[in-house]
Structure 1
């Protein structure tokens, strides 16, 4: 067997593998004998089929399989031995004019294209400066969160007259342009949440209504989103997007979720017995929770700022033409238009992965199984807290985390999240972070730029 490599560009190479009968004959003979022992053919007892008969019937197929296996192993071992850092997978050259007899006497030669990873150094120092925002929770955000928690633990009632945040159970009937009921039009029973209606005029018209009261609404202005309209009227989203009619809304019932009282029973349900004993302590806890969530927003912005800065700073090239061919070869349904539209984002993410891997390698950063388990526990704990403030017992949370990571996709995603976290922590330990306090509304405006 002979293997050679030829550079065809800075980031491209072709590996040529030459195979002689001496390389594959023994493997082919063994495969034929193994199949003869297992074969069940008419006229022969099991395990008594002559090897020559198997060779005559299946010899070419077996030869093809063994040569392909030999090629795969040889190429994989060669890349590892030569310590080649490749992108994607090797691509066989399909325009090869050579033809083979496949009769166990052939000398084969196969060529594979490689896309090579660029060599570069990660250049980070204390001269790189980034702003680390400390977001202060504004009163409106705090009150919204407090209201949401109190409503979550509140009781449902049926008031006679609708108020600002009530839920109306209604019947909607499509109207003609002249305001009369549209014959054969849409009629539907629908739930209307007043807190989701953004149009101030329509919102105001739905306050103060009693059972059987009627109002006329512009359905597009009232519900805005085609998916919401479709669900309310039981029609398709396509039809909902095109719908222009007004609707008669008749109130069938008014529901109100009363906010829970700020008492000791309420505090104990949320934080555990005796942890909070008054409204001031409750507000302090909620402020900590909200600012904790805002801290995550600030960390996401810092990570994104670092990501964009380092990508701009390390503007190395990729074997783009090879990668485009590889993407097409490994994604049969990928169209040329989709490839053209998505390639820049793919290349950007690939460059970041290379930078990330370089940082991990240069700094001998380890990602241990315990790190992945802890990350899974934190993720699951945050999800459970969306439904209940009471923390899960540690042993139960650990059990859920192990079950979560048994799914390969969950495990890979969590591993990548830990990898990204450790990478950014390493970067932040080197660069200069300048802390800056900012109000939430100003941060939102800044984050939209």
Structure 2
């Protein structure tokens, strides 16, 4: 057997493997004998089928399988011995393929294209600087959070006259250009939330209405041409809603208002539980501020992680074997269209570069991912998912059992492993580069991340 490498570019190479009969005959003969022992063929006792008979019947398919096994093993061993870091997987070179008889005497020659990982240095230091946002709980954000909680635990009433924030349970009728009701047009009963109306003039026309009052308005203008919202109100397809040009007549059937809950003990108990110890409005506000600060800290951490990701990609420049990788993506994803490849390749390349950077940092800094790290990360994620459906946390033992089951899935385990690896690299970067604390209001932060 002869294996050789030919560089065809800075990040591309061809690996050729030449096989002589003596390279594959022993493995083929062994495979034929093993098949003879297992074969069940009429006219022969089990385990007594002559190998020559197996060779006549299945010899070529066994030869093909063994050649493929030899090629796979030889190629992997060669890459490991030569310490070649390849991207994707080697691709058989299809040009000018030789024709073989597969008669157990052929000399085989196979060539593979490989994309090589680039060489680069990772050199972060205190000279690298990033802003780290410290989000403050401003009065507007606190008031909005408290109002939403009070409305969530409030009660529904039906006032005589509509006000901002109310919901108008109404009949909507499509109008003709002359202002009359379009007899064959859309007619639907829906709940119109005034806080969703974007046009201030139209919203003003819907305030102060009583049951039975009517208003004619431009529904597209009212919702700023939001086809999805218009479609939901009129119960039509979104495409049809986008093309809709008519005005509509709104007839109020009822005014619904969600009254805010009182800031009393019953409300505190609903929010925090009877054992929380929250008994005063001041304690309630302090507790809400704490929850908002925790949430904002998480938002700030996510922002910093994303900024570190972008900064790393901008700082550490290197090329990829793009054309090879595109061919590899097409070869391993049969349903991938050229349009999808063109539209998604930049994101793929960006994530691949980040993976190469994280691997380099892990190696240089001797960072390790232990099973306990993967387990704890998976457990945190599962705990957060369960809390979305129930405020009561799962018992620790039960959560641990779910985590073990979750990680038995190889795809889940690999995904969590990569997440933990990235988090370790990000934590390392936080400790190396200079982070400049920068106070910002939550509203300013939202505008920054919009």
Question: How many angstroms does 1:244 deviate by?
Answer: 1.3
Question: How many angstroms does 1:235 deviate by?
Answer: 2.0
Residue 123 of structure 1: aligned partner: 123
Mapped to 1, the partners of 2:188 and 2:45 lie a distance apart of 72
Residue 31 of structure 1: aligned partner: 31
Query: Any idea what the Cα deviations from partners look like across 1:227-285, whole Å, max 9, x if unmatched?
Result: 22223323222111111112222333443333332222322332231432211121122
Question: How many angstroms does 1:356 deviate by?
Answer: 1.0
Question: How many angstroms does 1:45 deviate by?
Answer: 6.7
Q: Decide which moves more: 80-89 or 30-39.
A: 30-39
Mapped to 2, the partners of 1:291 and 1:132 lie a distance apart of 15
Question: How many angstroms does 1:43 deviate by?
Answer: 6.2
Question: How many angstroms does 1:114 deviate by?
Answer: 1.2
Q: Decide which moves more: 203-212 or 291-300.
A: 203-212
Mapped to 1, the partners of 2:319 and 2:84 lie a distance apart of 17
Residue 87 of structure 2: aligned partner: 87
Question: How many angstroms does 1:143 deviate by?
Answer: 1.7
Residue 336 of structure 1: aligned partner: 338
Q: Does 1:324 align with 2:326?
A: yes
Question: How many angstroms does 1:6 deviate by?
Answer: 2.2
Mapped to 2, the partners of 1:401 and 1:174 lie a distance apart of 54
Residue 226 of structure 1: aligned partner: 227
Residues 61 and 266 of structure 1, relative CA distance in 2, 3 Å threshold: same
Mapped to 1, the partners of 2:93 and 2:247 lie a distance apart of 63
Q: Is the 8 A contact 1:270 1:388 kept in 2?
A: no
Q: Is the 8 A contact 1:162 1:206 kept in 2?
A: yes
Residue 102 of structure 1: aligned partner: 102
Residues 151 and 368 of structure 1, relative CA distance in 2, 3 Å threshold: farther
Aligned residues: 448
Mapped to 1, the partners of 2:106 and 2:282 lie a distance apart of 86
**Equivalent position SS for 1:31:** helix
Within 5 Å, give how 1:56-95 maps onto structure 2: 56-95=56-95
Residue 443 of structure 2: aligned partner: 441
Mapped to 2, the partners of 1:197 and 1:17 lie a distance apart of 69
Residues 124 and 243 of structure 1, relative CA distance in 2, 3 Å threshold: same
Mapped to 2, the partners of 1:73 and 1:328 lie a distance apart of 24
Question: How many angstroms does 1:89 deviate by?
Answer: 0.6
Residues 47 and 218 of structure 1, relative CA distance in 2, 3 Å threshold: farther
Q: Decide which moves more: 25-34 or 102-111.
A: 25-34
Q: Decide which moves more: 132-141 or 83-92.
A: 132-141
CA-atom RMSD, angstroms?
Answer: 2.6
Q: Decide which moves more: 270-279 or 61-70.
A: 270-279
Question: How many angstroms does 1:308 deviate by?
Answer: 2.5
Residues 62 and 167 of structure 1, relative CA distance in 2, 3 Å threshold: farther
Mapped to 2, the partners of 1:278 and 1:6 lie a distance apart of 77
- Residue 376 (structure 1) aligned to one of 378, 398, 413: 378
Q: Is the 8 A contact 1:269 1:390 kept in 2?
A: no
Question: How many angstroms does 1:160 deviate by?
Answer: 4.1
Query: Any idea what the Cα deviations from partners look like across 1:386-429, whole Å, max 9, x if unmatched?
Result: 56655554444444444544554444333332222211110011
**Equivalent position SS for 1:89:** strand
Q: Is the 8 A contact 1:270 1:390 kept in 2?
A: no
Gapped regions of structure 1 (runs ≥ 5): none
Mapped to 2, the partners of 1:38 and 1:173 lie a distance apart of 77
Gapped regions of structure 2 (runs ≥ 5): none
**Equivalent position SS for 2:331:** helix
- Residue 296 (structure 1) aligned to one of 295, 298, 305: 298
Mapped to 2, the partners of 1:342 and 1:357 lie a distance apart of 23
Residues 385 and 306 of structure 1, relative CA distance in 2, 3 Å threshold: same
Q: Normalising by structure 2, what TM-score? A: 0.90
Residue 195 of structure 2: aligned partner: 195
Q: Is the 8 A contact 1:271 1:390 kept in 2?
A: no
Q: Decide which moves more: 161-170 or 230-239.
A: 161-170
**Equivalent position SS for 1:435:** strand
Q: Decide which moves more: 169-178 or 329-338.
A: 329-338
Within 5 Å, give how 1:1-400 maps onto structure 2: 1-39=1-39, 50-223=50-223, 224-272=225-273, 273-386=275-388, 391-400=393-402
**Equivalent position SS for 1:429:** helix
**Equivalent position SS for 2:121:** coil
Q: Decide which moves more: 156-165 or 350-359.
A: 156-165
Residues 301 and 200 of structure 1, relative CA distance in 2, 3 Å threshold: same
Residues 48 and 159 of structure 1, relative CA distance in 2, 3 Å threshold: farther
**Equivalent position SS for 2:284:** helix
